[in-house]
Structure 1
């Protein structure tokens, strides 16, 4: 069904849960996976850089470590996984990346926000829905470590020898 899956990942609890859900789906579909982390060029990063020179580089290094860790986990369960870090406004960057790799599924995490948070952050969710040419899974089912391990064990049992 799905052959190319992009997992948008920012290290948050919601993104980690989406990563697990997307990984389980990728295993079932034997899909290739891209783990995409977008570093926003926003006021918070600029402010951090102004207070502590090198802060932006530290954020980039921490993000690279998260992506490397995620790709390692995906590969350890037998997935063909690649990590990618990009900079910019997350919604258009994610949409462009999905088109670039020809993905047929995008998996995102979701964190419920208050009215003010939604107003302040803009319409990035709507932007993504309107600007990807593939299916979109907004992962909201929390997959625990135990559930994920059990699914991995089940998958390993079903895998051909």
Structure 2
């Protein structure tokens, strides 16, 4: 693992993003790696609802995205990690590989969303996989075991109930 000198942490503020940030930060500290933090404002959703979002000032959207990036940078700083922040607007499945390749990252850290078949980082409108788009290693964090759905350890009835809630 000592080959990981430059790590790209992907942070979107979700619980999964929090786990990716925490786990990636711990790994970066252990390896004394250079850290880059990427927050991607996924414009797909707000572009599809252009009528609604046209009423939302662009400055507000940009400020919200910047605040998210700053939040991640502050969390890293609290752990003693100096990171370079990057903000992108677009499809995460496009932006993550772009930044990973541009920064020559050795490792990309993303969070996995258990409630969906594939996390937002893994799939998207192109139905492609993040793994097919990067030339470096990818660490997918799963979060704490307490976050796992009850259906994993439960009965079939629990699994059906969880699917319908």
- Bin for the TM-score computed over the shorter chain: 0.7 to 0.9
TM-score for both structures, normalised by structure 1: 0.75
CA distance in 1 between counterparts of 2:86 and 2:145 reads: 23
Preserved contact between residue 7 and residue 106 of structure 2 (Cα < 8 Å): yes
Q: Compute the displacement of 1:143 (Å).
A: 9.0
- Given that 2:16 and 2:143 are in contact with CA atoms closer than 8 Å, whether structure 1 keeps it comes out as no
Q: After superposition, where does 1:14-29 map in structure 2 within 5 Å?
A: 14-29=16-31
Query: Which residue pairs with 1:53 in the alignment?
Result: 56
Deviation, 1:62, is 1.5
1:127–1:114: structure 2 CA closer, same or farther, 3 Å change rule?
A: closer
Partner of 1:4: 6
Secondary structure of 2:129 counterpart: helix
Structure richer in helix, relative to its length: 1
Q: How does 1:85-124 map to 2 (within 5 A)?
A: 85-114=87-116, 121-122=124-125
* Greater RCO, CA 8 A, separation 6+: 1
Once superposed, which parts of structure 1, at least 4 consecutive aligned residues long, lie more than 6 Å away? none
- The alpha carbon displacement at 1:75 in A equals 2.3
Distance 1:142 1:123, change over 3 A: farther
Work out whether residues 10 and 37 of structure 1, in 8 Å CA contact, stay in contact via their aligned partners in 2. Answer: yes
Alignment match, 2:160:
none
**Number of residue pairs aligned between Structure 1 and Structure 2:** 139
> Which residue of the partner structure matches residue 130 of structure 1?
132
Structure-2 separation of matches of 1:41 and 1:21: 27
Any unmatched runs of 5+ in structure 2?
147-165
State the Cα RMSD in Å. 2.5
Tell whether 2:80 aligns with 1:78.
yes
Question: Normalized against structure 2, the TM-score is what?
Answer: 0.74
1:27 counterpart SS class: helix
* Structure 1 unaligned regions, length at least 5: 145-161
SS at match of 1:7: strand
